[in-house]
Amino acid sequence: VYGLILPLERKIRQVRYALNRMKSGDLSLRVPIEGSDEMANLASSYNNMSDHIQRLIEAQRELMRAVSHELRTPVARIRFGTEMLAEEDDYNHRMHQVDMIDKDIEALNTLIDEIMTYAKLEQGTPSLDFAEIVLFEVLDQVAVETEALKTQKEIELIPPPLYVKVDAERRYLHRVVQNLVGNAVRYCDNKVRITGGIHSDGM
């Protein structure tokens, strides 16, 4: 009997030790799986749980990094917009700035909705609502938004033909273009050219 109990006690101590390490914040330890009894099933369940928790924590970190990055652009545009609004005397220009600020606030609201969607998901990404989009419209919108930041960099839009269309989720396509242009503005010397098209392979 003792020969049966001793291995069982050792396995229980291993699981208990791993749980104590988990409570202290260390999720790296895995319990050895020996045999095919209930203790082996318990060890396997613990290891799977640890893997799952680690994935969730890493996903949360990635989300926080993404949110921090995505918030910067609309917040910066709102800040510049309010500064220009305070200095602008022309009524039409003031109304244009108000409209731009309103669009950026809506962009923030949309981003918050997306964050809530991601937070509800354990894995993967939200379902995409693809639609046919005129590429010029997205590029033009990003060009206008970038110019509103007054970055001291020249923004040149080389418009693709209006017949150039892509199947995409509009808000995500806009965000991709926005990030690309934002990086170009950050690292270019003095001028950013924005254009787009479709290659012969459909990309």
Q: Render each residue's pLDDT in the chain as its tens digit; 203 residues.
A: 555 677 778 888 888 888 888 888 888 888 888 888 888 888 888 888 888 888 878 877 877 777 777 777 788 888 888 888 888 888 888 888 888 888 888 778 777 777 766 666 555 555 667 899 999 999 999 998 888 777 788 899 998 988 899 998 888 888 889 888 888 888 888 889 999 988 776 65
Distance, in Å, from the CA atom of 176 to the CA atom of 181, rounded to the nearest integer, reads 9
pTM: 0.49
Distance CA 180, CA 34 (A): 51
Structure tokens at 114: 């997306």
Question: What pLDDT score was predicted for residue 117?
Answer: 64
Run of H or E residues at 34: none
Containing 126, the helix (H) or strand (E) segment is none
Q: With the C-alpha atoms ordered 64, 118, 125, 22, is the resulting torsion angle positive or negative?
A: positive
- Long-range contacts of the stretch 86-91 (C-beta < 8 A, 24+): none
Domains identified in the chain and CATH numbers: 2-119 (1.10.287), 131-194 (3.30.565.10)
